[in-house]
A and B are shown apart, each in its own frame.
Chain A
Amino acid sequence: DAGVIQSPRHEVTEMGQEVTLRCKPISGHDYLFWYRQTMMRGLELLIYFNNNVPIDDSGMPEDRFSAKMPNASFSTLKIQPSEPRDSAVYFCASTKDGSTDTQYFGPGTRLTVL
């Protein structure tokens, strides 16, 4: 299996621009998680989906952030408008049986907002 795939790997943008991060989970995994990693806050869960349905979005920092999962093999995390404090590494992870199962992480997207 190819593992969890994320794109782009690096994104540099200017404040106020829209940013879209993409994730393809491992085939057959029914759960998809979006995380953000910063030096100050560590690794924190933003949102997760089960069978393409958002289950818990309590970690989404504010309305500028939105996530979708239109089908079992694709998810997006969008930030609009972006701000410098959104600079972080964003990880996508997937599992077959939820958070009581081994999570497999993608390589991450390093976002820099100038």
Chain B
Amino acid sequence: GIQVEQSPPDLILQEGANSTLRCNFSDSVNNLQWFHQNPWGQLINLFYIPSGTKQNGRLSATTVATERYSLLYISSSQTTDSGVYFCAVEPGGKLIFGQGTELSVKP
């Protein structure tokens, strides 16, 4: 089956810093989504981005489907950005999740 690898597995930032999270996948996909799981466990959809670039406030994402990777950019990080960021891909019918990047933003 398709493999989804996220890096780095853990990241500690000082408030105000920028970061880039990466998602590599091993096969062609129809769909790619980024999620944020906050410290209370709630999963929030950030982007639906099978290809191209999208921006939402301080967050932006880019997917290069031909090269099988996606990047999530967080600018001017805030403590509320802490949590786990998941990439999920859909090769055919269902979402396959990566193991996540755990982000901790320190004040």
Residues of chain A at the chain B interface (Cβ within 8 Å): 33, 42-45, 48, 55-56, 59, 89, 91, 93, 98-105, 107-108, 110
Complex Cα gap A91–B98 (Å): 16
0/1 per residue, B41-66, Cβ < 8 Å to A? 11111001010000000000000000
Total number of B residues with any Cβ neighbor in A under 8 Å: 22
Contact of A42 among B41, B48, B99 (CB under 8 A): B99
Contacts of B48 in A (CB 8 A): 101-102
What is the interface of chain A mostly: helix, strand, loop, or mixed?
strand
Contact B30 A100 (CB under 8 A): yes
Complex Cα gap A104–B44 (Å): 7
Known: A45-B95, A56-B93. A99 touches B41 (CB 8 A): no
Q: Which residue of A lies closest to B46 (CB)?
A: A102
Contacts of A99 in B (CB 8 A): 30-31, 90, 93-95
